[in-house]
A and B are shown apart, each in its own frame.
Chain A
Amino acid sequence: MADAPKIRVPKTAKKGEIVEIKTLMPHIMESGQRKDKDGKTIPRKIINKFVAEFNGKPLFSADMDPAIAANPYLQFSAKVNESGTFKFTWTDDDGTVTTSEQKIEVA
């Protein structure tokens, strides 16, 4: 298993506030363009999909191509009207799915 994703979400927010979310997933993001020392193309292996949900509702998602740099970083925002849980899901080309959750208190 690869390293765990790094996530930054505020622990608390005011109702209706737009909070900033930062995620970083350690991953080589092998583009499929590089060649090894024998001149053979190294097969593509990237995280191709990222999904963020809040309390089970879709919040933000991204379809990624090999032009996303290694250790894919995504920053986006969320308008929070209630306390709840963010769920983040990364999908690898090989089908591996990594998920992570983060709670927020909304007053």
Chain B
Amino acid sequence: MQQLSRRSALALGAAGAALSLIGISSTAQATPESAAADVAKFAGGKTPVAGKISIELPEIAENGNTVPLTISVDAPMTDDDYVTDVLVLADGNPNPGVATFHFTPLSGKAEASTRIRLAATQNIVVTAKTSKGAVYTASKLVKVTIGGCGG
């Protein structure tokens, strides 16, 4: 490969940043708007209420390839009042979807942990539905030093 001079490398980087800012990219890209559309679809016509959800994420993720994530929803988790589904979205990844968790009264707690990939600094948006039809949402910003989506 041809060596890039420091100056042209910087110029390329700046051009790349500008391109991604105005959304011109060869691959489809998630945006806060597309994430919001997914939340609306998941909520099924209800307006999500802020709160009840806590999102644990490192403030700064050094390696976007594996970022620990814990979500928990404050709910009694009894047979008639429990969290049924939790949608996790990342609004700055190539695709917004991360995972959907399904809980039951047997779960005891509406809490789950996993490890996720993040392409860049972005918001994690978590939306939860309960058996009583309530919909809650929360989001948290995570700063990513090295993106984790290859390419």
Given known pairs A65-B95, A70-B65, the reply for A31 and B150 (CB within 8 Å) is: yes
The smallest beta-carbon distance between A29 and chain B, in angstroms, is 8
Given known pairs A54-B106, A59-B107, A60-B102, the reply for A75 and B113 (CB within 8 Å) is: yes
In the complex, the answer to whether B27 meets A33 with C-beta atoms within 8 Å is yes
Bound complex: CA A19 to CA B151 (Å): 40
Contact with B112, one of A57, A65, A67, A74 (Cβ below 8 angstroms): A74
Bound complex: CA A66 to CA B101 (Å): 15
In the complex, the answer to whether A78 meets B149 with C-beta atoms within 8 Å is no
The total of chain B residues at the interface (CB under 8 A) is 35
Of B7-15, B43-51, B114-122, B132-140, the one contacting chain A is B114-122
Q: Please give, as numbers and ranges, the residues of chain A lying within 8 Å of B105 by CB-CB distance.
A: 79
Please give me the residue from chain A that is nearest to B103 by CB atom: A60
Q: Please give, as numbers and ranges, the residues of chain A lying within 8 Å of B149 by CB-CB distance.
A: 31, 33-34
In the complex, the answer to whether A76 meets B112 with C-beta atoms within 8 Å is yes
Given known pairs A33-B150, A67-B95, the reply for A59 and B114 (CB within 8 Å) is: no
Per DSSP, chain A at the interface is: strand
Contact with B148, one of A19, A54, A69, A73 (Cβ below 8 angstroms): A69
In the complex, the answer to whether B151 meets A33 with C-beta atoms within 8 Å is yes
Contacts A33-B94, A60-B101, A77-B107 aside, 11 further interface pairs with beta carbons under 8 A come to A33-B27, A57-B104, A60-B112, A62-B101, A63-B100, A64-B99, A67-B118, A69-B148, A73-B115, A77-B109, A79-B105
Can you list 26 A-B pairs, Cβ within 8 angstroms, ordered by A? A19-B108, A31-B149, A33-B149, A33-B150, A34-B150, A34-B151, A35-B150, A58-B102, A60-B101, A60-B106, A62-B100, A62-B112, A64-B99, A67-B97, A69-B65, A74-B112, A76-B101, A76-B107, A76-B111, A76-B112, A76-B113, A77-B108, A77-B111, A78-B106, A79-B77, A79-B108
